[in-house]
Chain A
C-alpha cells in the first residue's frame, strides 16, 4: 500500500491514497466518463451501418459491457488496489500482460480525453456561430484550457474532482431525460418513419450491422474505469460492484433514449458523419426541436458530459500510469504521491501534453478509434483473466466480495463479441488496428527484454492469497 516513501532525516513517512469515496462516487466516475458517448461519437455507428444497425450494435455492446461488468466486479472486489485491471493482470496472468493492460488503460482514457476536448472546442464554435459570430473561431485555446483546467483539478485532489463529476454528470443525464420527455409532450417532433424509409434504415444490409459494432462500444467505453478508484473507496467489495452495475443500467437507458431521439430528428447520413456532419448529435437534435430552452440545456449537457468524461479520464489514466511507475514497470519517478494533495501528480502532469497532442490535429473518428482499440484489447484480456483467476484460485480458496454467476458463460460471450468487434473495426479501419497492435508488440518486446530487469520479482505479488494452483 505504501506508494512512496519520503526520507526526512531518520524518519520515513508512508504516504498513500485517501479512502474517501462511496458507491455514488464510483457511479459518477463510471457514468461520468462514459455518458459523453451518448453526446458524441456513438453516431459513427449510424454511418457504418445505418440507424437500425446502430441500435442493434448498442444492445450487443450493452451485452458485451454487462459481461465486462460481471467479470470485473468479481475480480476487482477481490483485487482492490489502484491500477484496476492492471493490478489484476499482475496477480493473475503475469508482468508483461499487466504492462500491456496498463497501457491499454492509459491510451483508452487519454484518447477519450482528447475526443472530449475536440467536442468541447466544436461546441464553443457552434455557440459562437449561433450567437452571431461570422468568422472562423480558433478552437485551440478552448481545447488546451479545458485539458489544463481538469488536470489542475485532478492535481488538487480526488474527492473534489469526483464531487464535481457527480454534479455535472447528473445534469448531463437529466438533460437527455428532459429532451426525451419533450418528445412525449409534442414539443419535439420525431419522424422515424419518414427519415428511415427505403434504404435509410439498413443501407449496407447485414454487414453494416456487424460494422456498426465498432462504434457501438462508444456508448459504454470506459465504464470499467470504476476499478481505478479501488484504493480510494471506503468499502471496495460493496461499492465497486454496486457502482459499476448501476452505471451499466444508467448507460443502457441513456443510450437507447439517445438513439430514439436522434434517429427521429436527424437524417442518417448527417447523423452518421461525426466529422463533417453531426459532431454533437444530441445538441444538433435539440437545435432542430425549435425550443431555445432545449438547445441551451443540451448545449450545457454536452459541455458538462465532455468535462465529466475528460475529468474521469485524467483520473483513471494517471492512476494506471502511477501504478506502473510504483512497480518500476515505468521509471519509478512516476510512482510518487503529492505530499499535500495525496494525488499521483507527476503522472497527471506527464499525460497532459499527450492528450493535447491528439486533441489538436487528429480527426474525431480516428481519435475515437484509437481509444476503442485499446478498450477492445482490454476486453479481450478480461475473459482470459477471469478463467485463469477461477482456475488458479477456485471459489473455496479465497474470499471474494462478489461472485459473478454462470461462469464461464459471460467469459465466452465476451470473447465472441470481442472477435466480432475486431472484424467490425477491420471493416474500414484495418490499418489503424494493425498499427495499434504492432505498437503493443514492439513495446512488449522492449518491456520483456529491457525494462523488466528493473522490476523486483516477488514484490509484485501483494495480495494475501495462497500459492496459485498449478504453480
Chain B
C-alpha cells in the first residue's frame, strides 16, 4: 500500500478546529442545561403550612431528632418539605426507552464500523498488504 502523506494544516486551520471542538463541547454539555432539559425529573409535593412530622413520613424519634440536629426545628419549613417530599418519577415511556436504546447501540455500531475501515488502512501501511 502506498504511504499516505497527510496535508499540512495551517495555524489558522488548527485554530478553527479548536474552536469547532470547543463549540461542540460547550454545546453538548451546556445546551441541555440552558434549555432546562438536563437533571433528574424529581418534583416535591406542594408546600403544606400545617404539616406535621408524621405527615412528612418522619415516623420515628430518630428521624425527627436527626432533622432537628440539622437545624430544621419544625416541619412547616418550605425548604425542608422540598427535600423530604421530592420524588423521582420512574414511569417508563416505551418510546423514550426505545430511542435511548437505538441512539446508544447505533452510536457504538457507527464508531466500530468507521474505526474498522480506518484500522485496515493503518495495518496495511504498517505491515504491508497481505500476500
Interface residues, chain A, with chain B CB atoms under 8 Å away = 47-48, 93-98, 100, 107, 111, 191, 193-195, 197-200, 203-204, 207-208, 211, 265-267, 269-270, 273, 276-277, 284, 288, 328, 330-333, 354, 357-358, 361-363, 365-366, 369-370, 380, 384, 422, 426-444, 446, 448, 451-458, 460-461, 467-468, 471
Contacts and interface: CB of A to CB of B under 8 A. Distances in A.
Interface in B6-44: 6-7, 9, 14-15, 17-18, 20-22, 24-33, 37-42
B51 interface: no
10 contacts: A208-B90, A332-B14, A380-B108, A432-B37, A432-B38, A440-B107, A441-B103, A451-B17, A456-B5, A468-B123
A442 B110 CA distance: 11
Contact of A457 (B17, B60, B99, B122): B122
Contact of B27 (A361, A432, A439, A455): A439
A467 B118 contact: no
B125 A432 contact: no
Given A191-B62, A427-B90, A441 B107 contact: yes
Contacts of A430: 96, 100
A97 B109 CA distance: 11
Given A357-B26, A438-B28, A330 B17 contact: yes
A100 B69 contact: no
Contacts of B3: 457-458
A288 B100 CA distance: 42
A451 B102 CA distance: 26
B90 A211 contact: yes
A193 B7 CA distance: 69
B92 to A, nearest CB: 8
Contact of A194 (B63, B96, B124): B63
Nearest to A468: B123
A442 B24 CA distance: 8
A435 B62 contact: no
Contact of B122 (A191, A193, A331, A458): A458
Given A48-B88, A94-B119, A438-B103, 7 more contacts: A93-B112, A97-B111, A328-B6, A331-B14, A440-B107, A444-B107, A461-B122
Main secondary structure of the interface of A (DSSP, over half): helix
B37 A354 contact: no
A471 B90 contact: no
A440 B21 CA distance: 11
B114 A267 contact: no
A161 to B, nearest CB: 25
A357 B30 CA distance: 9
Nearest to B84: A269
B49 interface: no
A352 B26 CA distance: 14
Contact of A433 (B69, B92, B100, B123): B100
Contacts of A457: 3-4, 121-122, 124-126
B107 A458 contact: no
B90 A96 contact: no
Residue among B38, B41, B66 facing the most chain A CB atoms (10 A cut-off): B38
Contacts of B106: 441
Contacts of B15: 331
Contacts of A456: 4-6
A370 B30 CA distance: 10
Interface string B86-100: 111110100011011
